Copies of this chain bind each other. A is one copy, B any other.
Amino acid sequence: MFETLAVVGATGAVGRIVLDQLADRDFPYKRIKLLASQRSVGREVQVKDQTVKIELLAPGAFQDVDLVIASTPDEVSADFAPYAVKEGAVVVDESGFWRMDPTVPLIIPEVNPQAIAGHQGILASPNCSTTQMVVALAPLHQACRVKRVVVSTYQATSGAGLAGNVELESSVRAHLDGGANQPETFQYPIGFNLIPQIGGEKHQGYTSEEMKMVYETRKILGDEDIQVCPTAVRVPVMTGHSESILVETEEPISVEKAIELFNAAPGITVVDDLDRKQYPMPKDCVGKDDVFVGRIRADISGNGHGIAFWCVSDNLRKGAATNAVQIAELLQSSVASA
């Protein structure tokens, strides 16, 4: 068992859910520390029946820590993870900083649990838009080999943290009242609008968010030949990322086969009955841990090797907190069985 657990960034949108998930899933530990920047030090947070004071994230803080679950910006993770590991902790990191490091396993427990073997102290949880897509792609890849993915995202404002939702609400209220509000978290007003940019330019006109979906997908599925054409768009939805996905496979794939594969896969719930108006929607996926797929149909522009579908998941849960806690559980069971 990991005796002492540290949660870094516990007061953020994802960190709060990490604490909930640790409680809900009865993750075993003896002692919990909450670490954050100077700004939050001394704040008290309720963790199950304990009141825990936030301590400073700084060298030395991990001397007595076995396992860390961290939800911080990239630059914070770049700074603290090395000394946390040096001080003897294993770090499950939700930031983008370590994901493509060749020494860092990038894990979705339902998809590539074997990749935790040989970790060197840091394990990364994928980007939210990647995670839900790869959970859905994995069974198709295993059965029919995914060659190409065309994906357009509809990403919720909570992907930018609590501030994203606050800004959506104020932007919507300002619009309804005939006023205007100055965007701070997003590039432009997001209320009743769409912003087709998440992250800065990274590669040939694609944003950093889009390229995460290319690189991380290949790493998690262990196949550098998978081609991905992503378009990442911010939408005025608070929680729940949605994705319109077209997948082309090496082996031919039927709709029936795809549904069978989705139904048999862990972490996927199929909601698919167009006649009865059944399909995944953000409002129905908030607070749930699964990846929901629907609108599953043949690619009518293709040659029998393609499937189109619609995929929704709670970006704060499977897209972040839940996946990180699942990685911790995986580490826990590998420690237990060692």
Contacts and interface: CB of A to CB of B under 8 A. Distances in A.
Interface of A: 148-150, 152, 154, 168-169, 172-173, 176, 187-189, 192-197, 200-201, 203-207, 214, 227-229, 231, 233, 235-238, 242, 244, 246, 255, 274-275, 277, 279-283, 294-302, 306, 308, 310, 312
A15 to B, nearest CB: 23
Contacts of A275: 200-201
Contacts of A301: 148-150, 227-229
A300 B231 contact: no
Nearest to A232: B244
A237 B193 contact: yes
A196 B297 CA distance: 13
Contacts of A227: 300-302
Number of copies: 2
Given A188-B281, A194-B281, A207-B274, 4 more contacts: A154-B194, A172-B172, A227-B300, A229-B300
A301 B149 CA distance: 7
Nearest to A202: B274
Contact of A233 (B154, B201, B229): B154
Contacts of A280: 196
